[in-house]
Amino acid sequence: MAVACPFCAIVAGRLEASVVAETDTALALLDLRQAVPGHVLVVPRQHVEDIFAIDPALAGDVMQLGVRVAHALRAVFDPPGLNLWQSNGHAGGQEVAHFHLHIQPRRLADGLLRIYPHGVPAPTPRDALDRMAERIRLSLPPDGASPTPRSAS
């Protein structure tokens, strides 16, 4: 467990949380900072820093609980949209070093998460997309295999 991890403290019962749902492996709770009403976080009970450290089966458990929560949010808030949002690393906006999935009911013009703050970019040329896809494809770990940890640089 990481030192002072608030999600680990919630899982251990040392910090309060407004729990929405739980399973043996994951917990869904309302975010203390409601960016939009119904903003839920789904966290694994086990401390896992980010997407690069999470076991694929555990990631599946978190996502399954996330799908259940999404259906409940639709029933309660009837939003015209919904976001699933998961951040990794400081540059990605991760504020707590414990994997977590944000589930947010969305309304038009709610001011949250503007994907293209400078306008929608022009399409990338197909040859550039194909080269990028090939590089990614060649780096995929085999199904069920854990990737080799990235060296610190």
So where are the chain's domains? 6-118
DSSP assigned state of 27: E
Tens-binned pLDDT, residue by residue, of the chain (153 aa): 445 899 999 999 999 999 999 999 999 999 999 999 999 999 999 999 999 999 999 999 999 999 999 999 999 999 999 999 999 999 999 999 999 999 999 999 898 877 777 778 888 899 998 998 999 999 998 886 666 566 554
Give how far the C-alpha of residue 107 lies from the chain's centroid of Cα atoms, to the nearest Å.
Answer: 20
Distance CA(106)–CA(123), nearest Å, equals: 26
6-118 topology per CATH: HIT family, subunit A (3.30.428)
In terms of DSSP bridges, do strands 101-106 and 81-85 run parallel, antiparallel, or are they unpaired? antiparallel
Provide the sign of the torsion angle of the four alpha carbons 100, 105, 106, 110, taken in this order.
Answer: negative
